[in-house]
Amino acid sequence: MSKRDIEIEEKVLKESILSASGLNSETLQIGIKGDPSLRETTYARKKYNSSVDSLYEPLAANFKELLLNRSTFRLYIGFNNGEIRTASVFDPMRIEVHSAEKMVDREYIERQFPAVSYEDKIRFVNDIYWNIAANPIYKSLPGYWQNILNKRNAEWEPMEKEEIINVISTLKVLRDMPEYYIRNVTICMVQSFVRIQFNCDGTQLVSAENYQSFLEENLIA
């Protein structure tokens, strides 16, 4: 690559909050402040108990099933409105939307989400990346973008199974906090991160490997 391409690549990676290569070792967690008016009125707004709150125990078992044993690679849990969004490795360009009430039903899970072992899902994602890289359109990308994506293809690492289990198992604790509690969460096993949005409109992006430390340092006494 030319010197200019190298400079642009470095700039692209530095200026993105969550880039194609994910969160780097220097930014294992990132906080984003939202609407200040929401922060100022946090204590005046009562927490609404949604269907996710009342059904969380059976939902949690199915959420683990989706990420560990089925086609889902990204999971969004809307605690406030009961909206569950999923993305499948078999159709990664789209999202699917489900209600929490239906996601409790194990037969619904079996119908809607094809069974895939975690190891096969990782291999499938890897194949998708390299198949994209073989496309002629990919070859027309600027050199610095090809380099960024080629590095991503070669070096990406999924969430560990234990990390997925730990995250889903602790969400109820974060939801039940009396003051600043979560209103939605996104778990992405491909990018190995957790996005947590709170009732004060603050957002945290946390790497899966740093998730437990984040809880211990900031949220759970």
Beta carbons of 77 and 93 less than 8 angstroms apart: no
Q: At what angle do helices 143-155 and 3-15 cross, to 10 degrees?
A: 60
Residue 215 pLDDT: 82
Q: How far apart are CA 207 and CA 21, in angstroms?
A: 12
Per-residue pLDDT of the chain (221 residues; tens, 9 = 90+): 677 766 776 776 666 655 554 544 444 555 544 445 444 444 445 666 789 999 999 999 999 999 999 999 999 999 989 999 999 999 999 999 999 999 999 999 999 999 999 999 999 999 999 999 999 999 999 998 998 899 888 888 899 999 999 999 999 988 888 777 888 999 999 988 899 888 766 788 888 888 888 888 766 54
Residues forming a β-bridge with 98: 84
Q: Nearest to residue 211, comparing CAs of 177, 160, 176, 141?
A: 160
| Domain segments of the chain as ranges | 26-219
SS3 of 221, please? coil
Residue 38 pLDDT: 46
Q: At what angle do helices 56-69 and 161-175 cross, to 10 degrees?
A: 160
